[in-house]
C-alpha cells in the first residue's frame, strides 16, 4: 500500500508559480503511474496531469498544457507538479494519486491511492 503526502501549495498572484510535491511512503512507488487532480469548491474533481511509472510519457489536461509540468524522481519516491503562469481559475485543492497499472489514466476511479490534498489559491 502506498501513502502519499502533498506539499507546496499556497497563495500566489496570477502569473506566479508554485511547485507541488507528492512524497510516497510504503509500497513501490516506482511501479505506479502518478496523476495530479484538482477540485474547486462546488465542482467535481478534474484531471490535471499524469506520468507513467518510468516517467517516459506524460499527459496533460488542455487547460494546463504549456503551463504545468509533471515529473517524478523514483529514487526519492517523489512526484512533482511545476505550475507556471498561474491563473485564478487554477484555484483548487490539488491531489496526487497513484495508479497501480503504471500508466497515464485520466479518470479518478482508475487510481488506487490518494493523498490528502494541498490548497492552491491564485489571486487576481
> What is the secondary structure of 97-117 as a DSSP string?
EEETT-S---SGGG--EE---
pLDDT over 70 for what percent of the chain? 99
Enumerate the H helices of 41-114 as residue ranges: none
Residue 39 confidence class, pLDDT cut points 50, 70, 90: very high
Beta bridge partners of 34: 51, 98
- Mean pLDDT, rounded, for 47-64: 96
Residue 68 confidence class, pLDDT cut points 50, 70, 90: very high
Q: State residue 23's pLDDT score.
A: 96
Q: State residue 108's pLDDT score.
A: 93
Amino acid at each position: 500500500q502506498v501513502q502519499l503526502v502533498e506539499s507546496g501549495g499556497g497563495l500566489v498572484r496570477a502569473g506566479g508559480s508554485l511547485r507541488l510535491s507528492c512524497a510516497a511512503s510504503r509500497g513501490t512507488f516506482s511501479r505506479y503511474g502518478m496523476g495530479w487532480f484538482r477540485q474547486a469548491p462546488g465542482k467535481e474533481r478534474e484531471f490535471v496531469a499524469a506520468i507513467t511509472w518510468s516517467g517516459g510519457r506524460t499527459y496533460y489536461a488542455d487547460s494546463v498544457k504549456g503551463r504545468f509540468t509533471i515529473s517524478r524522481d523514483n529514487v526519492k519516491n517523489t512526484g512533482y507538479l511545476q505550475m507556471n503562469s498561474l491563473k485564478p481559475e487554477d484555484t483548487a485543492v490539488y491531489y496526487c494519486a497513484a495508479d497501480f497499472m503504471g500508466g497515464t489514466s485520466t479518470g479518478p476511479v482508475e487510481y488506487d491511492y490518494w493523498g490528502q490534498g494541498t490548497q492552491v489559491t491564485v489571486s487576481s
